[in-house]
Structures are given as C-alpha cells and as structure tokens.
Amino acid sequence: MSRSESKKAVTTRNNPNSESELRPFYEWSSVEIDKAFRHVVSEQDTADLKIAWLANHTVEPVSRAATVFADTYGVQIDNLIGPYDQYFQALLEEDSDILAGNPDVIVLWLSLRVLAPALVEGGAELAEVEVSNEIERVCETIGDWVSLGEKNTKAHLIICNFVRPPSLRFGIADTSCSTGEQFIYHETNRRLSEKFISHPRVTVADVNQAVSLAGSESAWNPRMYRLAKIEWDGRAARSIALLLARSFRALVKPARKCIVLDLDNTLWGGVLGEDGPTAIRVAEGDPTGESFAAFQRALKDLRARGILLAICSKNNQEDVEELYITRPEMPLQAEDFSASRVNWESKHENIIAIAEELNIGTDSLVFIDDNPAECELVRQLLPEVKTIQLPDDPADYADLVIGLPDFDKIKLTDEDRQKGAQYAANSVRVVERRSSTDLTSYLESLGTELTIRPAAHSDLTRVHQLFTKTNQFNVTTIRYGTSDIQEFVDSEDCILNIASVSDNFGDLGIVGLYLLRLNGDKAEIDSFILSCRALGRGIETAICNQLKQSVFEDFKSRELSARFAPTAKNRPAANFFDQQGFEHTVASEGGQFDYCLLRQDSSELPAPGIDVTIKENLE
C-alpha cells in the first residue's frame, strides 16, 4: 500500500465532499488496516472520543479498524483496551485503568460461547426451561453491568448483541425447535433491545446484522478463535468496525437535517418537460419505474426519522404541480416536502434560499442530483453541503440514501419523528404571517400554548439533543452529556426546566430549556436554549418571564447572573439578555459578556399571544 493510500483516512475528514473512502477500507486486508491505523494515530490531534473496549474475546483488530473508519467520518478516537474477560472488575476496582481513563464511550462486546457456553456448544439436550433460564441470566448479567456502568462512569454504553453461528446444531429443523439456535439468538437479542430501549445512555449495536452483511460462514474462523480468541475475522471484523464507527460519529456529530433533491432522473425517471407527466417512470410493472418508486419510499422513511425533504429543480412549477395531480400513486407528494425551489435559477442559490427558509445552516444539507455538472458546481460553491451524484443504475438509489451515515442519530425522539409535520405546519404559519397586518395580531392568531416543567429522566434524550445540536439560540453552547443531565435532574442546587409549545397549527414538542445554578441568594443562568423553529414568536421572552419569577419569587434570590458566549452561529441570541432587562457588566475573557439582574430591577415583559402553563412535574 502506497503512502498516499494510507493517508486516505486523514484526508477525507477535511473534505466533506470527498467520495466515501469506506468502501476501499471495507475491502482492505488486516495488514492494510493496521498500516492505516498507525498512520491515523501518528497524525491524530486531540481525540474527540475516548473509547474503552471491554470483552471476553480479542477486540483489538476491530478497535483498530473502527479508529480508521471513525477518522474517515471526521471523528478522532483514542482507544483503551480493558483487561481480558474482566468487564465487571474494570468498573469496580478503584485503580482500574478504565475508571482512571474516564472514557466517553464504553463498548461491551461479549461472546455468548464464553458467557453462556451451554447455549452455544453441546446444548442440544437442554430443556426449554433451561434455555429460558440461561437467556434470562445472560440479560440480567448485562443489565447488572449497565447499572454499574451508569453508576460509576459518565460514559455512553454500547452493548454489542450476539451473532448467530453459521452452522445450526439442529440443521434445517432448527427453526422448528423451541430450543434451537435461531430462537436462542433472536430471543436474547430481542430482550436486550427491549431492556435498554428507554436508556438514554445505552445503545445496543446490531453486530449480528453487521456480520450477516459480511457473511458469517466465511467470517467465522474456528482456528483463529482457538488460537487467539478472535471470534470474527476479516470482512466481518471490518463490518462490525464500520457499525461502531457510525455510532461514534452519531455521538459527536450532528445529523444533517435535510435532503435537497433534483427531480428529473433523480426523483423519477425521465424529463418532465419533454416526456409529460403520464410518461414519467415511477410506478410498478416497470423495472426502472419500480426503482424510482423504491427510492421515493426510502426518502419517505427518512422523513419519518425526522429528515426534511426539499426540492431544487430546473423545471416549470406548473408542470410539477400537474404531475402531482396526474400521478397520485407516487409515494412522495407535494405535502412531503418542507421547501421547494422549482425555477431556472442556479441551484446553489436555490439551495441557500432553501436553507434560509427552513432556518438551518447549509452545512445541514445533503444535495442529491444525477447531473455531474450541477453536482460539481455545488461542491465548489457550497463545499459544506454534502453533495451526492447518483450512480447510473436507479436500482441502487434506495440503498444508497438509506445507508448514508450523515443521518445517523444515536436515539430517535418523538420530536424527531414529528419534524416533517412540524415544518409543514410552520409553512402554514408563514402564510398566516404574510396575511396579517401587524405582528401582534399575527402572534395572537397563532394561539400559542407554552408549557414549562422540570425535566424528567424520560426527557434525557431530547434534552441532550438540545444541548448538543442547538446552535442559533444557545447563549453559552455548553455541550453537556447525558450523565451530566442526569445529575442536573437529580440535583437540589440546579433547576433544569424544559419548554414545550403547541398552537393552532400543530405541536412543536419540546423546543427549549434553561439550566439554573443556585448558590445561596444568588442564581446563575448556566444555559438558555431555544430551537430555531420556535424563534420570532416571543417564546424566549415568555420563558424568561417564568425563569425570573422562579428565581426571585420562588427561590427568593437577590441576584441573577448570566453570560453570553458568542460563536459563529449563535448571533440570534446576542442581544437576548439586553432585551430581557439584564445589565451588561463586563466583557469576560474570550469575548464573552457577563450580565446581572437584581430582584428590584426585574419585571415581566410583554409576550403577546402566548398562554403559559407551569407544571411542577411530568404527568
């Protein structure tokens, strides 16, 4: 392997529009992966994540490959390999290297043949009750380990599930046996997923699926396992590493928010202006049409995950509107798109306009087009946009877009699932705003209902998203982890309240929060965050009114301090404290601004059209 090849892992992260280097890595030999790993480590700056690996088998080959893949995603990781088969001891012993290392993520990857050997080898004579008891013991063991990890560390915990072996002991009759391996592995993995589905600090990694993609028969090397306790080799190890690297990426990098799509020969087959709506290929009974229909269904699935869809096409608007009327069988219809630019303007300008309409950054966009010239233009003029030129065969489109790591989130919330509907409702609000004669009458017409209550443990995933993903209205942009948030929820010296909003046009869900620190007769606003989709309605003022009331009346504080730390993206929050009656004291180091508000100077400010409800807890 040449030096230029070994540099692939460290060059791709500096260019978001580079063609993915993951496929070459996926096919590399173990020797090539090791060379790339050494180069990545030698070039690495401060790590984004410290990963601890705990296992009852050898994990070093996968950890090295995961380091290479994560680097390609722009995430630098530092590995800490725990002692062999001592995953409990590593979290219990005070002088443990794992505890001393204070990892951000702990990967627990256990082999079932070590953890429950009776289920794997020589277990054909086990009775149903014995199989059930062993499965329960396995799940309880991992549950006990998770409880220990959550108690003794602040790390996010990734649990690898179990891989069904290539050869089944009951042969082709295995699926009809209640003690067969198909049942054992399916039931164990199902229980693991069910057990941790609501744990914000726990992710179950589907290693079984990763090995299946690679082919378990060729990946299982019994000789290597007996010699070196390497359970999965070669292609399977790299498939597992790729899965884990995507998890690492999702923990530190925000998912892109919107897919901007061309139309002709992208969303459907054919050219609308030439072929007409009836000849457009996007229906069953035609291989090409079925491929485009499958692509649209894949995009609809992404929309259900909270990814917005937008159109950017050089076309006639009237023709596109006629197509939706003529072809109602298309999976995607006009209402599925949160923004649309159908005209003859340059695509990079339309993409900027789409981002502005949706109030998101252009670095949150993925642009998909079949035209190489259009793709190259966007790459050059908007390098922060992820630009994808579609391959020649539309049969590949659906798998391509579903497989993009750019949309990965470690957990999905109700707000994520409702985002498409929320933006659609916001479009109606925009129309209402344009028809209103003044701002006050518009705000009152919305019928905004604001609910403020203490954050609960069940809110941790959404609260974590607000802390880590919100940039525009975020006064300090302090990024807290889920373990920190848990401490805030339980602390008597901190007040973490969240704000939910609904109006006549829909439910926006949890859109904001504030974190107060109490110290005697003084209080400090540590964080004040509001989602961009709730801006421009006075909601931040209504929340601040409640915050001041809580500080000065409920907690009898004498003084409330705050800080604004400017970033490249939080300009919308720059004058917030000035507008809320705070006195600007001094400029802090690093360009930050300190503010103070005394009890006698505090007053409630107008927030027209907002009905505020205060709740003491989650009902």
Q: Give 304 or 367, the one with higher predicted confidence.
A: 367
Among 252, 213, 265, 257, smallest CA distance to 235 is for 213
Helix, strand, or coil here: 446? helix
Per-residue pLDDT band for 64 (boundaries 50, 70, 90) equals very high
Q: State yes or no: pLDDT of 538 exceeds 80.
A: yes
Q: What is the mean pLDDT of residues 61-68?
A: 94
Name the class of domain 437-614. alpha beta
Q: State yes or no: pLDDT of 339 exceeds 70.
A: yes
Q: What is the mean pLDDT of residues 204-210?
A: 94
Write out 139-174 in H/E/C secondary structure: HHHHHHHHHHHHHHCCCEEEEECCCCCCCCCCHHHH
Q: How far apart are the first and last CA of the chain?
A: 61
The residue extents of the domains of the chain are: 3-11+18-252, 258-407, 437-614
Tell me if 3-11+18-252 shares its fold with 258-407.
yes
Q: What is the mean pLDDT of residues 383-399?
A: 95
Per-residue pLDDT band for 21 (boundaries 50, 70, 90) equals very low
Q: Could you confirm whether domain 3-11+18-252 is CATH 3.40.50.1110?
A: yes
Listed in sequence order, the residues at least 6 apart from 435 whose beta carbon sits closer than 8 Å to its beta carbon are none
Q: What is the dihedral of CA 340, 346, 351, 353, to 10 degrees?
A: -70
Helix (H) or strand (E) holding 77: strand 77-81
Q: Give 258 or 283, the one with higher predicted confidence.
A: 258
Give pLDDT, residue 67. 95
Q: What is the mean pLDDT of residues 338-349?
A: 94
Per-residue pLDDT band for 336 (boundaries 50, 70, 90) equals very high
Listed in sequence order, the residues at least 6 apart from 270 whose beta carbon sits closer than 8 Å to its beta carbon are 264, 279, 280, 281
Q: Tokens standing for 380? A: 């050059």
Q: What is the mean pLDDT of residues 494-523?
A: 92
Write down the mean pLDDT value for the chain: 88
Q: What is the dihedral of CA 101, 106, 109, 115, to 10 degrees?
A: 80
H-assigned helices in 56-201:
60-72, 89-92, 97-101, 112-115, 117-120, 128-152, 181-196
* 275-284 own/partner pairs: CB under 8 Å, 24+ apart: 277/319, 277/322, 277/323, 277/326, 277/327, 278/326, 278/327, 280/323, 280/327, 282/327, 282/330, 283/327, 283/329, 283/330
Residues 354 and 377: their CA atoms lie apart, in Å, by 17
Give pLDDT, residue 264. 96
Give pLDDT, residue 435. 61
Q: Under CATH, domain 258-407 is a member of which superfamily? A: HAD superfamily/HAD-like (3.40.50.1000)
* Strand order across the beta sheet in which 339-343 lies: 339-343, 308-314, 258-261, 365-369, 386-389
